[in-house]
Structure formats: structure tokens, C-alpha cells
Chains A and B, each alone.
Chain A
Amino acid sequence: MGAVITISLNAMTLISILMLVGLGLAIIYGLMGVINLSHGDFVTIGAFCLAIIQGLGGSFWLALLIAPLIGALLGFLTEQAIIRFLYARPLATIMATWGLSLIIQQSLQLIFGAAPQKVFSPLTTSINLLGVNYPSYRVVMVALSIAIIVMAFVIIRKTKFGLDLRTIIQDRDMAEALGIDTKFVYSIAFSLGTALAAIAGVLLAPLTAVIAQMGINYLAKSFFVVIVGGAGSVPGVVAGSLFVGGTETLLNYIVPTTLSQALVLVFAIILVRVRPSGLVRT
């Protein structure tokens, strides 16, 4: 019984990380159709923000506030300088964002070195959940992830910005002709996606090695999450994360990690073959 609870809690941890990283990409790739290969590096930027802020004596919670602002600002600049010229050119977008990814990784490595950065978890205690001792930080992270997912859902479904975004995705020309400044909405949406990636970076940093290349791990998985879940919807991100995170955690207990990751990919391919539009259809 204890083992089942531990496995479930571990699965929840991975699922919530995937939800956060996938959420930003669901906006950028799922809704806007931009294949952003630098998405993982915005996760890295978030994690490095935590390392820098804690290094300067700031708290984890301060980093959680500042990192998304920095992620949004860098995302805004990226959209203005690169992405906005490439919306109609997916291949060029792949090249450009891949290049940006290399630049971010190498710059971080040049400035901070190759050794993992020091980050500290804000909570070092553990709590008793159904008879199992589990690190409090992980529980808080799961709760925060759920809160952020709900918030994103509300923003997209209920706000003026969300309506503008859903409108543009369906017919950009018509949205523009009705008076929506589509260029502005797209740059804000892209910044929101990178801000979410940076938040994910802060939250997962205490659980992993913070190095310049850490984003690569999350890039492919977040694409799985968005594609398997159903491109472009918040419920899709939740479904995709449950599928990818749940399967991987379970398999990790049965087979070696490398094999389990390969098997998750195999399952994802089968699933997309059977349901091309993903688990949640919009």
C-alpha cells in the first residue's frame, strides 16, 4: 500500500512538472503554431534566475515572482526580434529558435560555467500523507502547478485577452479586420508562454541539476505532452501530462529509465496514430 502511494506521489510530481512546461508550449505551439525549439531554455532561464537570486541572498518565493517577469521580458524581445517575422515560415522558425537555443545554452555556460548551480529548496521538511513520509516541497509544487493550470484556463476562457487569442487562432485576418491588434496579442501570448516556462524552471530547479543544458530534457517531453494531449487546450495539457508523466513513472519501477523513456515515446506514437488530434479534442 505504501509503495502504491509513493509511486502515485512521484507520478504526481512528474506530471505537475510536465503540466507547467507543457502549458507554456501549449500556448506557443498548440495555439500559435510556433515550433519553438528554445522553449526548454526558458525553463533553464527560470532555474538560473532562482540560482542567481538565492546566490544574492534572496528567497525562493522572490525568485518565483521575478523569474516569470524575466521570462516574459526575454520572450517579448524574442518575439519582437525573431518570431514575428517568421509566423508564415515554420521551417525558418525551427532554424531560428534552434539557433536561439544554442546561444542561450552557450551564453549561460560561458557566464556561469559547466558545474551545476547551487539552488535550495524552500522547504526541507516532509509531511505524512496516508502513512507515507513525503517531501513537503514536492507537495507544495504539485499544488502550485494545479493553481497555475487553473489560472491559465481562466485567462484563456474568461478574459478579454483570452477571447482575442482564441479569435486570432481561428481566423487571423478576420480578427484583425474586426479591430484586434493581432501583432500585439501574439507578442503578449508568446511572452506568457515563456513566463510560464520560467516559472516551471524555478519550481523544478530544487529537484534537478541546474545546468545550461537542462532545458533539452524538457523540450521533447513538453512537445509530447502538447501533441498527445491535443494541441492548444489547457485540458489537453493536463491529459497529455497525465499520460506521459504517469506512464513514465510507472515504467520506471519496472524497467530501466532509458527503456522507460523510449517506451513512453512508443506509446505516444501509437496514441497519436489512433487519435491524431490528441486525447482532448477541441
Chain B
Amino acid sequence: MLEAREISAGYGIVPVIRNISLTVDNGDILVLLGRNGVGKTTLLKSLIGLLKPSSGKILIDGLDVTEWAPSRIAKAGVAYVPQGRGIFPKLTVEENLRVGLRGRKDRSSTIPDDVLAMFPILKERMNQLGGTLSGGQQQILALARALCSDPSHLLLDEPSEGIQPSIIRQISELLQTFSHELDLTILLVEQNLELVRTTATRCFVMEKGCLSRELTTDELEDDQKVFEALAL
């Protein structure tokens, strides 16, 4: 379970998110919808520890991690795939995956076979540099790398950005597999409605640094309701 209690955060003296409280229960795929610049990425960065909240608390399975370094939060079971994927362009696919092992509690130094089995496309390209992969392949690599740390929580920032529809469908299927078979608790920031509709178990709308309302899965199916909620 991942919990944010009244957190505020920003860059310098400019506040971006204000008093956000949010609980992602085990097994949930919780989606944050919202237009550009409402603070979705800032919220994720605060949760992984890259941005220290100016107030409020962050808890993982009841443990207060607000003051922890990101590396410690990662080792506590939180994997993070940032916007833009965060692939290391000058490392090979294999090295990118190896780096993903650093967040493991058991300090294992072998890439798990089941991760490789899930992503056959990566297996063929182990010695290729990360920077030479296409956007979709990089996103797949970023997801595989996140799994290498054997996480219990996954924070995903706009995985569909700049990616062709067939890969978006693949990502949707992968997220459902992560949730159902690997028991991953997922917090997904997304703007692609197809991906949101096929994955979300809960959905919140963000506006001007706050959570403005919750959308039920039924409401999500209704374009009119979604556009209203997003004030489009």
C-alpha cells in the first residue's frame, strides 16, 4: 500500500502540488488523469523521493519514508518509470537491466529468467545500446528494468507518450499481467484514454496541483463525463 498524506511539493519556492492525500491499495491500478502542468509528474517524483515534499508524509505499507533517499525507497519495493522512460542511452540493453537489479532486497546479480521470458524482444537485443532502440522498445525496456528489482509498487509516468497504438495495447496487457500475476500495486499517470480505460481499477482527476474528483470505471467509459472532469 502506498499512501500520501497531505503532501505539498514544488520547485524552489514555487508550490506545484498542494495538500494531496492519496492511497493506492494493494492490487489497485490507480490512474491519475489531468492536463499538462497540473502536477502529476511532481507528485510521482515526490513519491519516489526525488523531490522532497515541503509538508506531509509518504508511507509505504505503513512505513514513513518521507525523508528517505530515492535509492532507499527503491529498495523498499518501489519501482519508477519516468516520463521519457529514463533509459541510459550509452548502456547496453543488458546493462540497463542489470542496473535495475540494484533495487532488489536479495542483492541478486542475475537478471531473472521470467523477466526475460516476458520480453522476448529484449532478449534478441541484449548487446545493443539503449539509445539505439525505438521509443516503443525503450518503453518496454523501462518496464522490464522496473521488474528486475522485484518491486511491490510501480510508479509509471505517461508510458504511452510518443508511442504507436500497437505498443500501447501491449503496454496495457503488460500492466494487467503485472497487476494480476505479479501482485504489483500500480500508480499510473496517463493521458491516453484507451490505456486508462483498459487498465484502471480507480481513477482520480488532478487539477491545479490538487485532486479534484474521482471517476468511477463506469464514468470513465463515458467521453462526456471524462471531458467534463478534465474541463476540456
Residues on A facing B (Cβ under 8 Å):
160, 163-164, 166-167, 170-171, 173-183, 282
Contact = CB atoms under 8 A, between A and B. Distances in A.
Contacts of B82: 174, 177
Given A166-B88, A167-B91, A178-B103, 18 more contacts: A163-B95, A163-B98, A164-B99, A166-B90, A166-B91, A170-B90, A174-B88, A175-B99, A176-B70, A176-B74, A177-B48, A178-B74, A178-B102, A179-B71, A179-B74, A180-B102, A182-B71, A282-B90
B70 to A, nearest CB: 4
Interface in B39-55: 48-50
A173 B80 CA distance: 11
Contacts of A183: 69
B100 interface: yes
B90 A163 contact: no
B183 to A, nearest CB: 20
Contact of B99 (A163, A181, A282): A163
Nearest to B51: A173
A44 B50 CA distance: 39
Nearest to B130: A170
A121 to B, nearest CB: 42
B48 A179 contact: no
With most chain B CB atoms within 10 A of its CB, the pick from A163, A164, A176 is A176
Interface residues of B, number: 25
B149 interface: yes
Interface SS, A side: helix
14 contacts: A163-B95, A163-B99, A164-B99, A167-B88, A167-B91, A173-B50, A174-B82, A174-B88, A177-B48, A177-B70, A177-B82, A178-B99, A179-B102, A179-B104
A231 B82 CA distance: 28
A272 B149 CA distance: 42
A166 to B, nearest CB: 7
A108 to B, nearest CB: 37
B149 A170 contact: no
A179 B49 CA distance: 11
Contacts of B50: 173, 176-177
Contacts, number: 65
Interface string B46-87: 001110000000000000000001110011000010100010
A185 B70 CA distance: 14
B145 interface: yes
A180 B86 contact: no
Nearest to B80: A177
A163 B91 CA distance: 9
Contacts of B80: 177-178
A181 B103 CA distance: 10
A174 B98 CA distance: 14
Given A170-B89, A178-B145, A164 B71 contact: no
B109 interface: yes
A256 B74 CA distance: 59
Contacts of A160: 109
Nearest to A184: B71
Contacts of B75: 179
A55 B145 CA distance: 54
A180 B71 contact: yes
B96 to A, nearest CB: 9
A111 B194 CA distance: 73
A164 B99 CA distance: 7
A164 B74 contact: no
Contacts of A173: 50, 70
Contacts of A164: 99, 102
